[in-house]
Amino acid sequence: MLLGLLWNIVFPINKEMWTSSFTVFTAGLSFLLLAVFYSIIDVIGFSRWAFPFVLIGLNAITIYLGAHHAINFGYTTNFFFAGLVNKVGGATGAISFGLSVSSLLN
């Protein structure tokens, strides 16, 4: 972070342009936060509060691996929501299918 602030004297920190000083500063901030959370969770052992973040991280890894290696999400979506679309039918069915798919993506 200090190196980024020093570089700010020569080349201003500008987030919109992703200047080199901004990149160095945010990298330093990221390393600092990594060290703080590593110390709290792994060294001190205070980790119960972090369980929701562990679940979020596991799901992201699972979805990434599944999307690129094992799971056909188009087939899975059609399998789960085709019955809903067929039951409702017409434009309402198409809208419900679109909402179902978009809820999976968010």
Q: Is the pLDDT of residue 106 over 50?
A: no
Per-residue pLDDT, 36? 95
- How confident is the model over 50-69, as pLDDT tens digits? 887 887 777 777 777 776 77
Closest CA to 56 of 67, 68, 64: 64
Q: With bands split at pLDDT 50, 70 and 90, how would you rate the model's confidence at 8?
A: confident
Alpha-carbon gap, residue 94 to 9, rounded angstroms: 56
For the whole model, what pTM was predicted? 0.51
pLDDT, average across residues 24-28? 93
Using alpha carbons, list the distances in angstroms from residue 23 to 8, 32, 35. 11, 14, 18
- How confident is the model over 77-99, as pLDDT tens digits? 677 767 667 777 777 767 776 77
